[in-house]
Amino acid sequence: MALVCLTDFEAQARQRLSKSTWDFIEGGADEGITRVENITAFKKIRLRPRYLRDVSKVDTRTTIQGEEISAPICISPTAFHCLAWPDGEMSTARAAQAAGICYITSTYASCSLENIVAAAPRGHRWFQLYVQTNQQLNKQLIQRAESLGFKALVITVDVPMHGNRRQDIRNQLDLKGNLMLKDFKSPKEGNSIPYCQMSFISSSLCWNHLSWLQSKTRLPIILKGILTKEDAQLAVKHNVHGIIVSNHGGRQLDEVPASIDALTEVATAVKGKIEVYLDGGVRTGNDVLKALALGAKCIFLGRPILWGLACKGEHGVEEVLNILKNEFHTSMALTGCRSIAEINRDLIQFPRL
């Protein structure tokens, strides 16, 4: 069957992956309320199209942190791509490079940072750091990413401890058996550290630790996982360069708002001082348009990239990105937007039901 939309990839990926891998990718925390709402909240928003504008030329290009991307559709950090496809993150990086968009590599990549960069040397890449308890390791990871040409450091803030994913517990999911966290040591240092020996994500990370991180890098710092105006204002005060409004795909604290529902509060609070992005539940071109109309500079995709990988590796990721870019192009044309600058709140019908 032809794969014509992102959920077609979802259905086929489900058939291809083992039950425990599928559950790991799809799973949400606790009752999965937020995981589901990330998607349904988009569907409650209605659009206000404008017609009789010349939309024979539609330009989807934009910038993030001053760098051009072909469309405001990029790739969120997700762990362990080798679970979905043997080449893992190397395939993802190649597809992102071909699409001209940004790929955020996870701390928990299953390929080494060096191999990911070698696979796509011209790729636009950011590095996501789960701040570790071991400060030396944090410093090494940051410096390694910086010297490998990663252009921003994304600090994930919503994992002071892991969310409770019931299916993974039922499946007795054990990633340490077959995966090595290749990023924890550079190739010079020899073998990767097996998962079971890895350092831990710091649960004591606080706002006042940001200055330490800032002192270790010249890269812009982006905070991923902000959901409230209070934290958004603190982010501005602490001189970070961007925020990704995210609830970790509903995998951390359950019963927080859908990302799209938290976006307005965060975007309003930062008053345009830093860039705001969004991930969580984006599955169609209209979803991308809605996120931009409500204040996001760009959206990031989590699970759909893993579906693409599971179906067809690099080409599957390329197809997922192309489908969404084409849908977004159509959404822009059908609402009368010729450029990203023309997407604004007037496209959204208020009050929302």
Ligand X SMILES: Cc1cc2nc3c(=O)[nH]c(=O)nc-3n(C[C@H](O)[C@H](O)[C@H](O)COP(=O)(O)O)c2cc1C
Q: Which residues are identified as catalytic?
A: 248
Residue 186 sits in the site that holds ligand X (CB under 6 A): no
Q: Residue 122 CB, nearest distance to ligand X (Å)?
A: 23
Q: Residue 154 CB, nearest distance to ligand X (Å)?
A: 7
Q: Considering beta carbons, is residue 12 or 156 the nearer one to ligand X?
A: 156
Residue 25 sits in the site that holds ligand X (CB under 6 A): yes
Among 37, 87, 275, 279, binds ligand X (CB under 6 A): 279
Q: Which residue is nearest to ligand X (CB)?
A: 302
Q: Residue 102 CB, nearest distance to ligand X (Å)?
A: 13
Q: Which of residues 92-121 bind ligand X (CB under 6 A)?
A: 106, 108
Q: Considering beta carbons, is residue 49 or 86 the nearer one to ligand X?
A: 86
Among 303, 312, 325, 329, binds ligand X (CB under 6 A): 303
CA 200 from chain center: how many Å? 22
User: Helix axis angle, 259-270 relative to 285-293, nearest 10°?
Assistant: 30
State the CB neighbour count (10 A cutoff) for residue 5. 16
Phi and psi at residue 194, to the nearest 5°: -60, 150
Residue 163 sits in the site that holds ligand X (CB under 6 A): no
Contact criterion met (CB below 8 Å) for 262 and 294: no
Among 125, 151, 224, 329, binds ligand X (CB under 6 A): 224
Among 262, 270, 301, 311, binds ligand X (CB under 6 A): 301
Q: Residue 212 CB, nearest distance to ligand X (Å)?
A: 20
Binding segment for ligand X (CB under 6 A), chosen from 174-182, 200-208, 296-304, 325-333, is 296-304
How many residues lie near ligand X (CB under 6 A)? 23
Q: Considering beta carbons, is residue 77 or 123 the nearer one to ligand X?
A: 77
Binding segment for ligand X (CB under 6 A), chosen from 56-64, 138-146, 204-212, 278-286, is 278-286
d(CA 171, CA 182): 25
Residue 246 sits in the site that holds ligand X (CB under 6 A): yes
Q: Residue 214 CB, nearest distance to ligand X (Å)?
A: 19
Q: Residue 140 CB, nearest distance to ligand X (Å)?
A: 18
Place of tokens 């696979």: 119
Q: Which of residues 51-80 bind ligand X (CB under 6 A)?
A: 76-79
- Which of 280, 276, 275 has its CA nearest to residue 76? 280
Q: Residue 250 CB, nearest distance to ligand X (Å)?
A: 7
Residue 248 sits in the site that holds ligand X (CB under 6 A): yes
Among 156, 284, 331, 335, binds ligand X (CB under 6 A): 156
Residue 290 sits in the site that holds ligand X (CB under 6 A): no
Q: Considering beta carbons, is residue 258 or 343 the nearer one to ligand X?
A: 258
Binding site for ligand X (CB under 6 A): 24-25, 38, 76-79, 106, 108, 128, 156, 224, 246, 248-249, 251, 279-282, 301-303
